[in-house]
Amino acid sequence: MTETTTRPAGPLAGIRILDMTRILAGPTCAQLLGDLGADVIKIERPGVGDDTRSWGPPFLTAEDGGDLDESAYYLAVNRNKRSVTVDFSRPEGVALIKRLLKHCDVLAHNLKVGGLEKFGLGYADLKDEFPGLVYCHISGFGETGPYAKRPGYDALAQAMGGIMSLTGSPDGEPVRVGVGISDIMCGMYASTAILAALRHRDKTGQGQNIDLGLLDTTVAWASNEALNYFTSGDLPKRRGNQHANIVPYQVFPTKDGYFYLAAGNDGQYSRFCEFAGVPELATDPRYDTNPKRLVNRDELVAKLEQVTPKKTTQEWIDGLEQRNVPAAPVYNLEQTFSDPQIKHREMKIEMDQPLAKDGKVALLGNPIKLSETPVSYRRPPPTLGQHTDEVLAELLELSDDDRAKLRDDGLI
């Protein structure tokens, strides 16, 4: 699917975000709001920009076959934004940010605690001048507590938040999730918090500060494993691909690969055993209920691992689907994006990008499907400062000469 338009669209049309975030958590949040129709103005350092612009290879390929200054990492979370360069380390830049804020509903940033305050752009500095402003600050450990001033990164949050202790082989080392999931989840929590704060602002006229820490949000999505610990007092163990509370619920080998079996109840387990040619394992008193299978997990799994390599992955998927037993092939990304369901749901999109080879850039689609106000893909990830003149002319009515002077002064 290709859809590139600059027309505001979606349920957040009319909302404007001043996006002073970088890397992953904040840009994830801002891109999601942009997909939903918000006008996102991405503030970047002149001549440098978001750190992730240089986090490659791979980079987007230019028409001449060389590399553009947009890494794949940067492209992942920066569509539907307008890039404006401002040096806000200088008083003149701070003044420019404040002029832009008069036209914005939200300011989001993920500098360390105190990072914007030293320029007079903290929430306490702005709330009286902009009483309706929703101010969202993402940091590693939140704005309060003994670790507040520590720098925070995704891997540190995964380590301290307990997720790594739950991930990996039982006899191996703790393992981080293969993508920056703490950053991504924090960005998603941030977008929800911003929407809630905007709802409050619309009802009362009052803005507020949103304080989000990577560590907090990582701990929050420990979910059922945290409750297993609270309830039993026993520390959860790493189980590789196994489920803590359901058996069999894990990856099994096949003749030509792997599949994931998710037998979530006794009926599904029984139907699986029938198709697998081992119906006796469904009626065996050691395995006929899930609590018993949990107790006898190791011996049951060992028996099933002798059976599953007798069929191909596709044979397992087809046979179990006919019997209404949940199962899925274990894909690599090439297989993922070739799957007809994922194609149908448009989880890979293309946008027009005139500077790129073939004039296109491939991006991940947004999973949100709204019947009346669908997400839209209006702008490809911007080049550094691409929209500085456009935004300053549109919002602040700065003339060509005014902008030329700011550029000569190194301010934009």
Q: What is the model's pLDDT at position 9?
A: 72
* SS3 (DSSP) at 381: coil
* SS3 (DSSP) at 162: coil
Task: Give every residue of the chain whose pLDDT is below 50, as ranges.
Answer: 1-6
Q: CA 367, 51, 146: angle at the middle one, nearest 5?
A: 90
Task: Give 137's strand partners.
Answer: 109, 211
Q: What is the model's pLDDT at position 5?
A: 46
Q: What is the model's pLDDT at position 74?
A: 98
- Helix orientation angle between 25-35 and 181-204, rounded to the nearest 10 degrees: 50
Tell me the per-residue pLDDT of 145-188, one tens digit each, with 9 for 90 and over. 999 999 999 999 999 999 999 999 999 999 999 999 999 999 99
Is position 408 annotated as part of the catalytic site?
A: no
* SS3 (DSSP) at 138: strand
Question: What value does the mean pLDDT of the chain take?
Answer: 96
Q: What is the model's pLDDT at position 69?
A: 84
Q: Which two tokens stand for residue 211?
A: 């304080």
Q: What is the model's pLDDT at position 84?
A: 98
Q: Which of 50, 183, 211, 216 is catalytic?
A: 183
Q: Which of 347, 316, 346 is nearest to 329 (CA)?
A: 316
**Residues 80/40, Cβ–Cβ less than 8 Å:** yes
Helices (H), 323-384: 333-338, 340-344
**Residues 209/135, Cβ–Cβ less than 8 Å:** yes
Tell me the per-residue pLDDT of 388-404, one tens digit each, with 9 for 90 and over. 999 999 999 999 999 99
